Chains A and B, each alone.
Chain A
Amino acid sequence: MSEENLAEILAELKDMSETMVDLAYSALLFGSEEIADHVIEMEEIMDKLHTDFELAVLKLKETRPARGLLGLIRLSIAAEDIADAATMMAHIVKGGVRAHPVVWMAFERAEETIVTTEVAENSPLADKSLGELGLEDDIGMRVIAVRRAGRWTYNPQDPFVIERGDILIARGYVEGRERLLDLANPAREED
């Protein structure tokens, strides 16, 4: 594995750990078990990435100074620790932390929300880039993560093209929620 790949995996460890924390908090604040499930699923990917990364770092021990490699190992342990903490948070959400009125009331005033949805066959979102769609300007929802064929893309940028079957996680104001769900799946039934 080249050092460039190493930088890529590191970027992924970083982005993934940050996204997991973000999603875990959102799952708590907006009461979404579905989002909590995504976090738990990401933890498995994170474990594998972390192991791949550390093995790749160790392979460089003959050619690179030990100190800088130690720094990389410590960094990946911390990233893994952050992901673990996010997963604990997701389990707390799944454990029904919000069930009791005392807690539930504390979350009542939410103006923002988070939503997860699959892009259906006949969705007008399919084959369009996020830049073209301008969801953030039009309906106030920002796509923060996309799952495609078992892989996650975090914080997708304007050139990112949405495909059928993608699972989107988006955050925004409550009003935008239903509109995004309708766009992703025009045939859906009101829940």
Chain B
Amino acid sequence: MSEEEIKYRPISVRELLTEMQTVIQLILDLAYSAVLFHDHDLAEEVTELEERMDTLRVLLLMNTAIAIRDADDAEAMVGIMQMASVADRISDAAGDIARIVLLEIGIDPYIVEAFKKVKERLVRTRILPGSVLAKKTLGELELESNIGVNVMVVRRGKELVINPGGKTALQEGDILIARGSDVGASELDKLAKGELKTIPRPAVEWENDLT
């Protein structure tokens, strides 16, 4: 952590709090999924997001501090400043959950089994050279209708696009975090790694399996 690198820039308090809310929901989602599915990649991503939260927290403090002109302002802003420490506490707790995975403590295998029945899971994967996903927009790829996965985050180095839209173009080296079925998640992983060269068409699902 290197707080001295975070430079002041003017952002509205509302914008910061809204982004903090989004990142916090994401970090909790990732941390719980990491531990319940014993997934190291997801746990690593929690650590990345902890840094993001830290930046947001420092920016929130700076932007509140700069808005304070007198005692009345100071009294009003105390609550907002406390929000910064609450957010910090939540991302710390998410970090603690991720470390259950990263330190190889793990949780009882029986519980992991129980959660495997859950229909959806998160996946985190990196786009490798030669992947069909590179140089295409999410709109062109239609991953949601084709393989049933919803890309929640695209991370390019330190840059983070949360809830990317159809116009977001993917590049080699991007990290994707997505939600989907077990099958969809593994298809996305294979597409990103180049093990799967074409995007699968949606499978026909039979309500009553006769086998």
Residues on A facing B (Cβ under 8 Å): 3-4, 6-7, 10-11, 14, 17-18, 21-22, 25, 28-29, 60, 64-65, 67-72, 74-75, 77-79, 81-82, 84-86, 88-89, 92, 95-100, 102-103, 106-109
Residues on B facing A (Cβ under 8 Å): 12-14, 17-18, 20-21, 24-25, 28-29, 31-32, 35-36, 67, 72-73, 75-77, 79-80, 82-83, 86-87, 89-90, 92-94, 96-97, 100, 105-111, 114-115
Question: CA of A51 to CA of B181 in the docked complex: distance in angstroms?
Answer: 33
Question: CA of A89 to CA of B92 in the docked complex: distance in angstroms?
Answer: 16
Chain B at the A interface: SS class: helix
Question: CA of A85 to CA of B21 in the docked complex: distance in angstroms?
Answer: 13
A-side contacts of B110, CB under 8 Å: 3, 6-7, 64
Question: CA of A75 to CA of B13 in the docked complex: distance in angstroms?
Answer: 32
Of B14, B25, B32, B114, which contacts A4 at CB under 8 A?
B114
Give 18 new A-B contacts, CB below 8 A, not counting A25-B21, A60-B108, A106-B13. Answer: A10-B111, A14-B36, A18-B25, A21-B25, A21-B90, A22-B21, A25-B24, A71-B35, A71-B107, A74-B96, A75-B97, A78-B96, A81-B93, A85-B87, A92-B79, A92-B86, A96-B79, A100-B73
Chain A minimum-CB-distance residue to B69: A102
Residue among B32, B36, B89, B100 with the most chain A CB within 10 A? B32
Q: How many A-B residue pairs have CB under 8 A?
A: 128
Chain B minimum-CB-distance residue to A72: B107
Question: CA of A17 to CA of B80 in the docked complex: distance in angstroms?
Answer: 21
> Are A102 and B73 interface neighbours, CB within 8 A?
yes
> Whole-angstrom distance from the CB of A139 to the nearest CB of chain B?
23
> Are B77 and A103 interface neighbours, CB within 8 A?
yes
> Are A29 and B25 interface neighbours, CB within 8 A?
no
Question: CA of A100 to CA of B78 in the docked complex: distance in angstroms?
Answer: 11
> Are B18 and A29 interface neighbours, CB within 8 A?
yes
> Are A82 and B82 interface neighbours, CB within 8 A?
no
> Are A85 and B111 interface neighbours, CB within 8 A?
no
Question: CA of A44 to CA of B12 in the docked complex: distance in angstroms?
Answer: 34
> Are A78 and B73 interface neighbours, CB within 8 A?
no
B-side contacts of A22, CB under 8 Å: 21, 25
> Are A85 and B86 interface neighbours, CB within 8 A?
yes
B-side contacts of A21, CB under 8 Å: 24-25, 28, 90
A-side contacts of B111, CB under 8 Å: 3, 6-7, 10, 68, 72
Chain A at the B interface: SS class: helix
> Whole-angstrom distance from the CB of A142 to the nearest CB of chain B?
14
Q: A3-B110, A82-B90 are in contact. Are A75 and B24 (CB under 8 A)?
A: no
> Whole-angstrom distance from the CB of A104 to the nearest CB of chain B?
9
Q: A99-B76, A106-B12 are in contact. Are A17 and B86 (CB under 8 A)?
A: no
Sampled A-B contacts (15; CB under 8 Å): A6-B110, A14-B32, A21-B28, A22-B25, A29-B18, A60-B108, A67-B106, A68-B107, A79-B93, A88-B86, A92-B83, A102-B76, A103-B77, A108-B14, A109-B14
B-side contacts of A71, CB under 8 Å: 35, 100, 105-108
> Are B93 and A82 interface neighbours, CB within 8 A?
yes
Question: CA of A7 to CA of B77 in the docked complex: distance in angstroms?
Answer: 41
A-side contacts of B92, CB under 8 Å: 81
